[in-house]
Homo-oligomer: A and B are copies of this chain.
Amino acid sequence: MSLKRVGILTGGGDCSGLNAVIRAVTRSAIITHEAEVIGIEQGFEGLIFDRNRKLTVAGTKDILALGGTILGTTNKGDPFEYRQFDKDGQLTTQDYSQKTIDNFKRLDLDCLFVVGGDGTLQLGYKLFERGLPVIGIPKTIDNDLMGTDYTFGYQTAVQVACDALDRLQTTGESHDRVMILEVMGRGTGWIALEAGISGGAHVILIPEIPYDLEKVLEKIRLRKEGGSPFSVIVVAEGAKEIGREAITSEAASTRLQGVAQLGGVGNFIAKSLSDRIDLEVRCTVLGHTQRGGTPLAFDRVLGTRLGTQAVEAAAEGKFGTMVALKSQEIVLTPLKTLAGIVRQVPVDSQMVHTSESIGICLGR
């Protein structure tokens, strides 16, 4: 089919490479298909409240190396259950799906490219079921989406953490300290695992394997006895001690009720270790430095390929699918197969085995 006018939105948390997708969709739609491109602002909110702007080749020319998303994004904005405060200050939920569909139709778009993670893609699928020509482009910094080898933004996040570990190694070694690095990963430990492996960590704690503090202490002691009194520990923000709830940094920084909740799991473990060993312990919390900033080449190429193939898929009318990296090619997968399944780190996976066979302690 011939594309005349397409729309694109980005939803959920931002990550490096979103602008590469936007640029690729814009360029290939305009250059190859002579279509118009409409950028919808702030995720689905831009459809609900009709906020959008025209995207051009000139207007997207310098965004490849730029972090974030020029369209803005939000974690709110579910068209089916939009949450807002009413005039009495009560939180209410509204179904804006028809308004969303009406606005979409008024824009006269041949396709809607939905760039987002699990939640955003499922909303895209629900709109597809309601008749919208949706194509999904998978995005999650955690690399925990089913159906695609890698998601863009992930390698950049791992690299930021790896760079931090390189720095912590030398200062830890000079001072005989235990250095803790808290990285992203509320539900899955992929970033922690790959960052830890690449940065030479001695201990990696991930949400999938609740940790036993004794095992961590034993590792530190063994290293000290072996002549290396320093240790480097990577902790995913969703890591939790056996028998305890996770303490995420987000809780600490946004929903906290009192001083007691300052700091996340990294600081918590720092304190737990300090109480038990005669070594100084220091904690670094990378936070959103993993999300923002210029993407690695890998993520720029991946974003560009996904964006371009998404436009091809649209031109072929293959709606209700998402583009995905499989081995060396971008392929199409039905959107419905995603269905809210998060790809966690299997506790007996090759990556876990690799970590343990080179001597990394996973807290078990």
Give me the interface of A with B, judged by CB distance under 8 Å: 13-14, 18, 23-24, 27-28, 31-32, 57-58, 61, 64-69, 72-74, 149, 155, 158-164, 166-177, 179, 194-195, 197-200, 227-228, 249-250, 252-256, 259-263, 267-268, 270-271, 274, 280-294, 296-298, 300-301, 304-305, 308-309, 311-312, 326-330, 350-351, 353-354, 357-359
Contact = CB atoms under 8 A, between A and B. Distances in A.
Contacts of A300: 162, 197-198
A199 to B, nearest CB: 7
Contacts of A358: 23-24, 27-28, 31-32, 304, 308
Nearest to A27: B358
7 contacts: A66-B170, A160-B167, A162-B297, A162-B300, A167-B291, A177-B288, A262-B271
A359 to B, nearest CB: 5
Contacts of A18: 174
Nearest to A18: B174
A350 B305 contact: yes
Given A280-B254, A350-B309, A354-B308, A167 B24 contact: no
A161 B300 CA distance: 13
A96 to B, nearest CB: 20
B294 A166 contact: yes
| Copy total for this chain | 4
Contacts of A197: 300-301, 304-305
Given A292-B170, A292-B171, A293-B166, A64 B200 contact: yes
A251 to B, nearest CB: 11
Nearest to A164: B289
A313 to B, nearest CB: 12
Given A270-B253, A284-B285, A354-B305, A293 B167 contact: yes
Contacts of A290: 167
A281 B308 contact: no
A198 B64 contact: yes
B289 A274 contact: no
Contacts of A296: 155, 159, 162, 296
A304 B259 CA distance: 38
A171 B328 contact: no
Give the 9 A-B residue pairs with the shortest CB-CB distance, closest first.
A263-B263, A167-B293, A171-B292, A67-B170, A262-B263, A68-B170, A68-B174, A284-B287, A198-B297
Contacts of A170: 14, 66-68, 292-293
Contact of A174 (B14, B175, B179, B262): B14
Nearest to A28: B357
